Amino acid sequence: MSETAPGTPSVTFYVLAEASASARLRLACRIADKAYRAGQKVLIWDPDAAELAQLDELLWSFGDDRCFIPHELLVAGVAAEAPVLLSANALPEGPIDVLMNLAEELPQFFTRATRVIEVIDGEDRRRAAGRARFKAYRERGLQPQSHHVGAGEPRP
C-alpha cells in the first residue's frame, strides 16, 4: 500500500466480471479475512440489512477450510470488540484501518479509514453506482486503483 497523508485513504476497487451479489459477498469475505489476518480492523459498510445478514452468515464459515472470521454487527452505543465489524448505520469509535464499502453511495466518513475497499460486481445498477463513486473519489483528489477479478478464484 502506498503512503497517504492523514485523512487521505488509499482507495481500491475490486471489480468482478460476474453479475452476482453472492460472488460480491464471497469476495468481500476473502478481503476481510486477508485484512483480519494482517491484524487490521475492518468495517464493512452496507445499508442493506438483508445483504448484511447474508454476509454475517458467510463470515461464520468462510472459505474452503471453513474458517471463522471473528466479526460482529455494530450497534450504536455498544462497544465492539471484534476485528471485523458489520454496520448499516453505526460507526465505531476511533480510526478505521479498512473500510469496505458495499453501499451504492460514497460514505461521508470514508476519510476516517486508512484504506477504502470497494467491491463491485457486473450487475448494471451496482456497476453504474461504482463508476459514480470512482469519479467522486477522483473529484476529492484521490487516485483510486482498480483490480479486475476474473471468473476464477478471486484473489484480492
12 pLDDT higher than 60: yes
Please write the tens of the pLDDT for every residue from 75-93.
888 888 899 999 999 999 8
Residue 156 lies in a domain: no
pLDDT category at 6 given cuts 50, 70, 90 is: low
Tell me the Ramachandran region of residue 77: left when phi exceeds 0, alpha when psi lies from -120 to 50, beta otherwise: left
Could you tell me if residue 1 is inside a domain? no
pLDDT band of residue 65 (cuts 50, 70, 90) is low
Domain residue limits at 128? 10-149
pLDDT in tens, 20-45: 889 999 999 999 999 999 999 999 99
Give 66's pLDDT tier (boundaries 50, 70, 90).
low
**Maximum distance among all Cα pairs of the chain, rounded to whole angstroms:** 41
Report pLDDT digits (tens) over 97-125.
999 999 999 999 999 999 999 999 999 99
Contacts of 70 (CB under 8 A, 6+ apart): 36, 82, 83, 84
Q: Please, which pLDDT band fits residue 153 given cuts at 50, 70 and 90?
A: very low
Domain assignment present for 92:
yes
pTM of the predicted structure, to 2 decimals: 0.88
Average pLDDT, the chain: 88
Number of domains present in the structure of the chain: 1
pLDDT of 8 strictly over 90: no
CATH of the domain at 145: 3.40.50.10110
User: 40 vs 67, which has greater pLDDT?
Assistant: 40
Determine, yes or no, domain membership for 5: no
33 falls within a domain:
yes
Asked whether the CA dihedral 15, 20, 21, 24 is positive or negative, the reply is negative
Answer yes or no: are the C-beta atoms of 66 and 109 closer than 8 Å: no
Residue 2 counted as domain residue? no
The pLDDT value given to residue 21:
85
